[in-house]
Structure 1
């Protein structure tokens, strides 16, 4: 796996910094930095930077191919994330579902949608070998 000295970085558009901070903090992410044109978060150990760019917001987002998120290797942590999202009343784009049912790559997943229509997927594979 990756060494602890490496952090994945993702930059995405946002339309309003205040509502972006509110969403990601409710998700449990820590605000690392805020500037006039962007906010940076610790997103489950990785870095997500939301750049203020309202004209780049996708008004009709689709799950595939553009989304990002977390793949859990522990089912209990996945279940906790789902419960937390429900308790925080975060907006779901897709409720809990099973993908590839009955196949080796079967997994459970749900999608959240942030205020700029960026889609976040949270998933758990029953077979750890299918994570990659």
Structure 2
């Protein structure tokens, strides 16, 4: 299980700071810091830093193997983020779907794509023991 006294940190590239801030704030992430070359967000309790590096943007992103996101332990929180993404008209890379239907690891998931083609996955497992 997660220790509550630790914060996970992830650094990713971005191509434009303003559009990056707009996307992540629409997603509900709080801007923590902004510098000339990066922005830092509170990403659902963890830290995501978007470094300005337009030359390292993946022009053809794929869901697997490179993405990041949140595994929700409460279905209501998953639904809330999904509904917010829809209402904010955030770009979906993959609409809501079911993976591993009928198996213990069955879960619902969707993917968003940020302005720098970073893929974000949001999912909820029906069996909470499958979250790890």
TM-score normalised according to structure 2 size: 0.98
How far residue 77 of structure 1 moved from its aligned partner, in angstroms, is 1.0
How far residue 19 of structure 1 moved from its aligned partner, in angstroms, is 0.2
The separation in 2 between residues aligned to 1:84 and 1:13, in whole angstroms, is: 24
Unmatched segments (≥5 aa) in structure 2: none
The separation in 1 between residues aligned to 2:12 and 2:87, in whole angstroms, is: 25
Instruction: Report how many residues are paired.
Output: 132
Deviations 1:76-101 (A, max 9, x none): 11111111100010000000000001
Corresponding residue for 1:78? Answer: 78
Corresponding residue for 1:7? Answer: 7
Corresponding residue for 1:50? Answer: 50
The separation in 1 between residues aligned to 2:127 and 2:31, in whole angstroms, is: 33
Corresponding residue for 1:87? Answer: 87
Unmatched segments (≥5 aa) in structure 1: none
Deviations 1:31-56 (A, max 9, x none): 00000000000000000000000010
Corresponding residue for 1:101? Answer: 101
How far residue 4 of structure 1 moved from its aligned partner, in angstroms, is 2.2
Q: Find runs of 4+ consecutive structure 1 residues off by over 6 angstroms.
A: none
The separation in 2 between residues aligned to 1:24 and 1:3, in whole angstroms, is: 25
How far residue 2 of structure 1 moved from its aligned partner, in angstroms, is 2.6
The separation in 2 between residues aligned to 1:117 and 1:69, in whole angstroms, is: 14
